[in-house]
Structure 1
Amino acid sequence: MSQPPVRDPDPQPAPEERCRNCGVALRGPHCHACGQPVKGLVRPLGNLFGDVLDSVFDLDIRVFRTLPPLFAKPGFLTREYFAGRQIRYVTPFRLFFFLTVLTFFVAQLTLDGPSINFGDGDAIARATTVAEVEKARDAKLAELAKLKQGMVGTAAATGIPGVEAGAQAVREVAAERIAALQQAQAAGVPPPAADRDGENTLNVRFNDKAWDERKNPLDTWLPGFADRWLNAQVARASNNIARLRQDPSAFKDAALGAVPTTLFVLVPIFALMLKLAYFFKRRLYMEHLVVALHSHAFLSLNLLLVLLVRVLALWLAPDGGALATLFAWIEGLLIAWMPAYLLLMQKRVYAQGWPMTALKYFVLGTCYSVLLSFAVLASMAIGLVAM
């Protein structure tokens, strides 16, 4: 009688894999209870760097489908977004964030720092006649005017309000010096000596007198601790003027460094302005916000191209010539493309007639330019205190 075949023992079932965070049995690459991934976060540095690029900048193949229409097709990306074709392009906020940070980082590396006069100057302070004061004043104003002209149409244009404020400070200091010299002449006494202590301070006045932390401090309607804080900030900014005189690039870095933060605040405000301008279009605020993000992303991209053209011109045509002329034409065309692009974008997205579009474009542009100037000045003042 044959023996029955010997059966191999049944294999032991594999232990059930459980989430290391909450202990629930796993059914896939992520825990369905707490959401923790099965793969640990202790991975090679290259993988983590890729995660940062993907989560923060979302840099993948979509960037190559996004940048060309962003630059060359006004309103195209916005209309694609409204039509529901969104996943094929970089999202509006990530596009704006990446281009803005990159553009003004490149601007800090490539632009030279101008020397800005924030108050009194040696020539005006040492002048002993009215004619000498006027000569020194006119020379400083001409220098600032030349500097302002060179900023127009570039990323450094955000510093124009600071240049204008410096010019106004020069006029005020010159007027004070002229008044002091005329009073001395009328009294028959020698011209007053230059105020050497004021050369590295802000030209701040309170109660028609020069600000002084002890003798003439700010005294507002705010509580005492707030006034003390304000006076401390004015003193700190005043002391930082000495650093700015020794390191002019610090002013450029403060101005350009303030722009991204300023734009992050102003983009929602610009979207609100669009909402008011196109109130009867009955569009959601988020739609106007997408328009604002795409328009600011384009401006950052265009400024980045202008900076790159300037770098190429300095590298390939440092001595001028036909190649330098070509680069100058390209830069001019890029600058001219900015207002034309924004006008075409507004027309195509909101689909109104040309007269109404042009009117709203002019009003929005003027109001936003004024708002941007004040915002940049405020950011520069904060940066001057915080540096």
Structure 2
Amino acid sequence: MSHAVLPSDDTHPPACENCATPLQGDFCHACGQSTHSPVRHVAHAVEEVFESFWHLDGRIFRTVRDLFVPGRIASRYLDGQRVRYVAPMRLFVILTLLTFFVAKFVVQDAMQSLEPGQVRTDDVAVEFSQARTDDDVRAVLDAALAGIDETRRTVGALPGVSPQLDIAETQVRAHARSRLAELGADDASPAAAETIANATSTPVDAQGAAATKPAADGARTTPRTPPTVGGPIGERIERNVMRLRDEPQLYARAVLGVAPTALFILVPLFAVLLKLLYLFQGRLYLEHVVVGLYSHAALMLGLLLVFCGALVIPWLGLHALWGAGAVVVLQSLLLWAMPVYLLLMQKRVYGQSWPWTLVKFVIIGVLYFALFLSVAIPMAGYALYAL
């Protein structure tokens, strides 16, 4: 008597369960589906998770590694070696989103001390209280104003930051004036009198808004209001500008939110420039798009490393000062290396002589900068409107 043999869990079905194609191995040659079923065996389910994870990560690591070599990954991809690398669009999207995600933390840390109520002058007030002579007061005042000027040079261009810095400067000068008065500097040397004059500034009320000065000859002053642009769009922008006085970080976050969209617009425009300047090489437009995607992906990777360095610098400044200095040097090298990287990549991918490559690189750089402004300015305006 013959007995039927029941298939074990590891027995492959005779045909693909997805497309019914007869099987000749562990994978269907028609649709690519594996014969291992994750719903029949726990080991197969775990295997599928880790196989997919490491397969994806292996390609990402290989792609990022080769991305550090200018032009290598783009040249190989255009030559047909595509399976080993993450697709250019996917890589660009991943690095762009990750870069601006980290950038939001960097901007948040940079502007944390500039939020309303966070521009602190308490430490400066303590230093003024410890000053014993008018020269000491002037030294503290000069140091505090120098710090405010440095902050204004670095992040003062962001909307809403300058008013906060002006308030801090007013408070510092008021502390200096008060301390000089306590020291009796009114009857002191001419230098002290000059310090008192320089320390005089517009008083700041409890809400941090500058009070209006009384006009000469009894003239009345009216509160300054922003000009009306007109229409609902202008009114909304007007209201948002007023909001930035109290929450300057809002605009930085809004700009970072629209920045990826601006880059998605710039990449095909960058490919158009490459197509025009390398018109006689016979390359397809999509090939130039691939070069543009990998170029911008490399820039995003460099910026990501710079932003990550900015996040660790405060911690290194407290625990390993030499490490913070090394990170600053690496950041500077990365920023300077970006245009050099693009030049070397252009030379390797298109293979022209150095004189022609340099000429075209300069032309593309100038035109791309103009395109960048034409896209970035409207995006910045939209960010202000969409607050």
**Which secondary structure state, in structure 2, belongs to the residue aligned with residue 89 of structure 1?**
coil
Amino acid in structure 2 at the alignment position of 1:29: E
Residue in 2 that maps onto 1:155: none
Residue in 2 that maps onto 1:29: 17
Amino acid in structure 1 at the alignment position of 2:86: V
Whole-Å separation in 2 of the counterparts to 1:249 and 1:77: 38
- Report the CA distance between 1:312 and its aligned residue: 2.0
Residue in 2 that maps onto 1:335: 335
Of 113, 131, 154, the residue aligned with 1:150 is 154
Residue in 2 that maps onto 1:63: 60
Residue in 2 that maps onto 1:81: 77
- Report the CA distance between 1:241 and its aligned residue: 2.0
TM-aligned CA distance change 1:378 to 1:323, over 3 Å: same
TM-aligned CA distance change 1:149 to 1:296, over 3 Å: farther
Residue in 1 that maps onto 2:240: 240
Alignment of 1:8-27 (within 5 A): 27=15
Whole-Å separation in 2 of the counterparts to 1:148 and 1:347: 40
Residue in 1 that maps onto 2:211: none
Amino acid in structure 2 at the alignment position of 1:350: Y
Of 99, 102, 116, the residue aligned with 1:106 is 102
Residue in 2 that maps onto 1:376: 376
Amino acid in structure 1 at the alignment position of 2:224: D
Whole-Å separation in 2 of the counterparts to 1:146 and 1:368: 31
TM-aligned CA distance change 1:29 to 1:314, over 3 Å: farther
- Report the CA distance between 1:148 and its aligned residue: 8.3
Whole-Å separation in 2 of the counterparts to 1:302 and 1:144: 30
- Report the CA distance between 1:260 and its aligned residue: 0.6
Residue in 2 that maps onto 1:195: 224
**Which secondary structure state, in structure 2, belongs to the residue aligned with residue 60 of structure 1?**
helix
Query: Under a length normalisation based on structure 1, what TM-score does the superposition of the two structures give?
Result: 0.61
Q: Deviations over 1:166-198 (max 9, x none)?
A: 9xxxxxxxxxxxxxxxxx99xx993652334x2
Alignment of 1:67-216 (within 5 A): 67-71=64-68, 73-112=69-108, 150=154, 190=219, 192-196=221-225, 198=226, 210-211=228-229
- Report the CA distance between 1:342 and its aligned residue: 0.5
Does the CA contact (< 8 Å) of 1:262 and 1:375 recur in 2?
yes
- Report the CA distance between 1:322 and its aligned residue: 3.1
Structure 1 unmatched ranges of 5 or more = 1-6, 15-25, 117-141, 152-158, 167-183, 204-209, 212-216, 218-230
- Report the CA distance between 1:321 and its aligned residue: 4.2
- Report the CA distance between 1:145 and its aligned residue: 9.2
TM-aligned CA distance change 1:32 to 1:145, over 3 Å: farther
Does the CA contact (< 8 Å) of 1:258 and 1:376 recur in 2?
no
Does the CA contact (< 8 Å) of 1:108 and 1:256 recur in 2?
yes
Whole-Å separation in 1 of the counterparts to 2:151 and 2:370: 20
**Which secondary structure state, in structure 1, belongs to the residue aligned with residue 308 of structure 2?**
helix
Alignment of 1:352-367 (within 5 A): 352-367=352-367
Whole-Å separation in 1 of the counterparts to 2:148 and 2:73: 40
Structure 2 unmatched ranges of 5 or more = 8-13, 22-30, 116-145, 163-214
Does the CA contact (< 8 Å) of 2:268 and 2:292 recur in 1?
yes
Query: Under a length normalisation based on structure 2, what TM-score does the superposition of the two structures give?
Result: 0.61
Residue in 2 that maps onto 1:178: none
RMSD in angstroms over aligned alpha carbons? 4.2
Amino acid in structure 2 at the alignment position of 1:80: R
**Which secondary structure state, in structure 2, belongs to the residue aligned with residue 111 of structure 1?**
helix
- Report the CA distance between 1:85 and its aligned residue: 0.8
TM-aligned CA distance change 1:338 to 1:150, over 3 Å: farther
- Report the CA distance between 1:269 and its aligned residue: 0.9
Whole-Å separation in 1 of the counterparts to 2:287 and 2:151: 39
**Which secondary structure state, in structure 2, belongs to the residue aligned with residue 86 of structure 1?**
coil
Whole-Å separation in 2 of the counterparts to 1:266 and 1:148: 30
TM-aligned CA distance change 1:195 to 1:317, over 3 Å: closer
TM-aligned CA distance change 1:149 to 1:250, over 3 Å: same
Does the CA contact (< 8 Å) of 1:255 and 1:376 recur in 2?
no
Q: Deviations over 1:250-302 (max 9, x none)?
A: 11111111111111111111101110111111110011000000000000000
Whole-Å separation in 2 of the counterparts to 1:70 and 1:148: 36
TM-aligned CA distance change 1:92 to 1:144, over 3 Å: farther
- Report the CA distance between 1:334 and its aligned residue: 0.7
TM-aligned CA distance change 1:148 to 1:292, over 3 Å: farther
**Please, which moves more after superposition, 245-254 or 100-109?**
245-254
Residue in 1 that maps onto 2:184: none
Residue in 2 that maps onto 1:223: none
